[in-house]
Chain A
Amino acid sequence: MKKLGPLDIYRHLPKTNCGECGEKTCMAFASQIIERALTLKDCPYLKGKNMEALVKMTAPAVRQVIFGKKLPTKIGGEDVLYRHELTYFNETAIAIDVDDQMAEDELLNRVNYVSHFNHERIGQELTLQAVAVKNTSQHPDVFAECVGKVAQNTDKPLILCSFLPESLQAALDVCDDRPLLYAATKDTWERIGEIAREHDCPVVAFADNDLSELKSVVNALQSMGLKDIAVDPGTHPENFTTTLNNFVQIRRTSTSEDEILNCPLIGIPGAFSDPMEEVMAASVMINRFADLIIFHNISMFAVLPIITLRQNIYTDPRRPVAVEAGLRTFGNPTKDSPLLATTNFALTYYTVASDIESAGIDCYLLVFDTEGLGVQASVAGGQLDAYKAKESMEAANAAEQVDHKKIIIPGMAARISGELEHITKWEVLVGPKDSSGIPEYIEKRWND
């Protein structure tokens, strides 16, 4: 594991504390570099030997590979094995597969699905990154025709999947968007490496459950001068333990500064034939270091858990669990507008806020200080009770904000309502258990 401290960086900085990077001191800049909050280019005076040394020092343990020109997708670039050790940086890219023997309408349907997929979830837009085109026919011409069709219909980057050099060559004649080439093997590394070099494309090295061979293939590709290399140690639906163990070994090797296998990892849950199992396999891969997965099922029941898990795992753990407590306003509330309440657990808060915003409700939201716990947990743990709720209402001067002396508390906090009424003399309304019910609640119970 690479362990850099700010001092290691500082040694190579100008040490003038000029402030042009936005930080007060060079030492502060060094810390920001470690956190990847700033980049080396943010220092206008960093040049020559020092710049080179720093570029090398700060290179991530897993090399970052970018494919696609119109909508570039970054994979790899990770520094740590476990997210709590720092954070993960580039979320697992999700590609949807198509094959060159699909009926045209199905093909285009899947391609459009990837292009237009956009699921808004707790203030983030979750998307799919790429289309993986499989050379199922094994014919270069059929493949090229299919790739051409896909490329014409989407700006998303492509992954060209064939073990035949002539197929990849043919496909590159109709797609110049810097696709990812899948895959070079022990037998084809030279020809596919040539193609990758000629078209300046990143390439995947593949070896089936043989990490020595995989390392040798990567090394051979590197010997040709290629740098943008990802690896696939093989996805085994019948024997998935192999795949997981290979993933773990490779990633552990890269985080111990291996110069050859420091490559982004590719997993293929789409190789599973059962859609539910495919979701489970993809979950293992997202949790265990995959930088890119190729997925097949495009039913929302299958895609939703995957993109949600990815959103979770790739959340920066350094981000605070709690938002600031206190009174917030949404829209343009008046003294007659509803006053709602929630907890300061970041996820609860953002979920509630996004439900209120998307419904366009004018209201106040009182954020209780529950020490960063959700409603159910804080009521169970005593971080939220009637007395603490009352304190928050007083601290926020709630009585000055609204005339009606009514507060809507979360449905999950129903058990504090009686006591809260008693000690505040306010009318305590019990809102919905899930904040998605707020718009309807306001519509039916408040506006009437």
Chain B
Amino acid sequence: MDIKQLIQLLEGTGEIELENVDIFAEELELFMSAAEAAAKPVVGYRELEYELPLEEYPGEIPVVKFGNTKGEGGTRSHSLYVGGEKTMPFYRFEHENPHRPVIAFDVFDMKIGLAKPVKVHYKEVLEDPAEWAKLCVEKFGADMVTIHLISTDPLLKDTPVNEAVKTVEEVLQAVKVPIVIGGSGNPDKDPEVLEKAAAVAEGERVMLNSASLNLDYKRVAQAAMDYGHVVLSWTQLDINDQKTLNRHLFDMGVERENMLIDPTTAALGYGLEYSFSMMERMRGAALKGDKDLQCPIASGTTNAWGAREAWMKESPTEGETWGDRMKRGPLWEAVSALTLGLAGCNLFMMMCPTSVQLFREMIAQLSEDKEMKPAADWITRGGN
């Protein structure tokens, strides 16, 4: 019989039994091409067992603590923890990671321009960082607050360092949550600003934002070590730079429990995929044992508001609409946060309370079991 005919015959067949068949090597090859048809399983339903595809990870992310309470030399009402991961975020079938993502609200030490969906929440406090911080904690439930001392920038107000750090004291007075202290991004002035800020916040276990390759990171890291703070190691979308800077910091004596890494956050639509894959790669490598990258990850998620789809009132293209900006903008920041949260980010510096709420709800959903309704019902329910 022609092999084609044989295959045709077999196609309609669910099951074949071969009896008294000798297979010679020559024939075997011919038989192989018909093997797909011949090897078809018996038609029918068989109970198969699904095996959990578990992976072994030799590495683990250290736990980093923010904020010291009274007994520990600080004045915070409580401490917060990030890190401790033994698997990728929310892979609960594999391991229950111990700490949920933490959200630090951004506060600036001078009035800044904000997109409307953000501004509506802060317009009363834009000139009073202490009140601003308080609002974030009391009204929006901020886990932490970041005070950005941007007015120290010589191109902005050039606020003297001694004056700028008073704002840090005010914020520490106004709120009892752990805080982050940021500079202006001016590489010449930031080391001094962060040194002084570290000194006035001694014992509080703040995070200094940040040590980077384009400034004198040794001064920043040394200040963190001298005054018992955490330091943020910030690089710009380059995994090798991140490894290099981390190694320098470890060599200086920065302990793993006192450091976070930030590979830079690009906005949704404007390079978010770079940040996403950078974090996913870094976290994957860390779990596989790369000690240079075993640190919790931080993101300046507020950068999402730099995307025109977030801050603009409407599309600049005529005849095109981008929809309700009061929903679109907050979603832009929330989706950016969520994306990075799935990649491994632990600490999110955010701005819009609506975004934070959306993000938190999804984190809760992904972190705990609740009662379930049958999924099949989506067909018989109407739309949302």
Do B374 and A208 touch across chains, with their CB atoms under 8 A apart? yes
Q: Which residues of B are found within 8 Å of A73, using beta-carbon distances?
A: none
Separation in Å of the A322 CB from the closest CB of chain B? 11
From B128-136, B140-148, B363-371, the one touching the partner chain is B363-371
> In the bound complex, how far is the Cα of B269 from the Cα of A198, in angstroms?
43
B90: chain A residues at CB < 8 Å are: 241, 244-245
Which listed residue (B281, B331, B342) contacts A279, Cβ 8 A? Answer: B331
Complex: A435 Cα to B59 Cα, angstroms: 44
**In the bound complex, CA of A97 to CA of B92 (Å):** 30
Report if A268 contacts B (CB, 8 A): yes
CB within 8 Å of A: which B212-268 residues: 212, 214, 236-237, 264, 266, 268
For A261, the chain B residues whose CB sits under 8 A away are 50
Cβ-defined contact, A436 with B312, below 8 A? yes
Q: Which of A272-294 contact B (CB under 8 A)?
A: 272-281, 283-284, 287-288
What's the tally of chain A residues with a CB closer than 8 Å to chain B? Answer: 105
Q: Are A309 and B272 in contact (CB under 8 A)?
A: yes
> Which residues of chain A are within 8 angstroms of B320 by Cβ–Cβ distance?
119
Interface SS, B side:
loop
Q: Which residue of A lies closest to B239 (CB)?
A: A84
- Residue in B14, B92, B93, B266 whose CB lies within 8 Å of A374: B266
Interchain CB contact (< 8 A) of B47 among A99, A216, A223, A321: A216
What string of 1s and 0s marks CB contacts (under 8 Å) between A136-148 and chain B? 1010000000000
Asked whether, in the complex, the Cβ of A273 is within 8 Å of the Cβ of B365, the reply is no
| Chain B residue total in the interface (Cβ 8 A) | 90
Report yes or no: A224 in contact with B43, Cβ–Cβ below 8 A: yes
Q: How far is the CA of A288 from the CA of B276 in the complex (A)?
A: 12
Cβ-based interface call for A380 (8 A): yes
Closest beta carbon of chain A to B153's beta carbon, Å: 9
Q: A121-B269, A216-B48 are in contact. Are A272 and B384 (CB under 8 A)?
A: yes
Chain B residues lying within 8 Å of A279, measured Cβ to Cβ, are 331, 335
Nearest-CB distance from B217 to chain A (Å)?
13
What 0/1 readout, one digit per residue, does chain B (331-362) give for beta carbons within 8 Å of chain A?
11011001100110000000000000011011
Q: Which of B155, B277, B316, B331 is close to A305, meaning CB atoms less than 8 Å apart?
A: B331
Q: How far is the CA of A52 from the CA of B379 in the complex (A)?
A: 41
Residues of B within 8 A of A234 (CB): 375-376
Residues of B within 8 A of A220 (CB): 43-46
The 9 closest A-B pairs by CB, nearest first: A234-B375, A301-B323, A300-B323, A271-B378, A211-B50, A301-B328, A312-B273, A212-B50, A436-B316
Which A residues have a C-beta under 8 Å from some C-beta of B?
52, 82-84, 97, 99, 101, 119, 121-122, 134-136, 138, 161-163, 185-186, 189-190, 206, 208-209, 211-212, 214-217, 219-220, 222-225, 232, 234-236, 238-242, 244-245, 248-249, 252-253, 256, 260-261, 268, 270-281, 283-284, 287-288, 296-297, 299-305, 308-309, 311-313, 315, 317, 321, 345, 347-348, 351, 358, 372-374, 376-377, 380-382, 415, 434, 436-437
Other A-B pairs beyond A234-B376, A372-B237, 14, CB < 8 Å: A122-B269, A136-B380, A223-B41, A236-B373, A240-B362, A271-B381, A276-B331, A301-B322, A302-B323, A302-B331, A304-B323, A309-B268, A315-B273, A317-B277
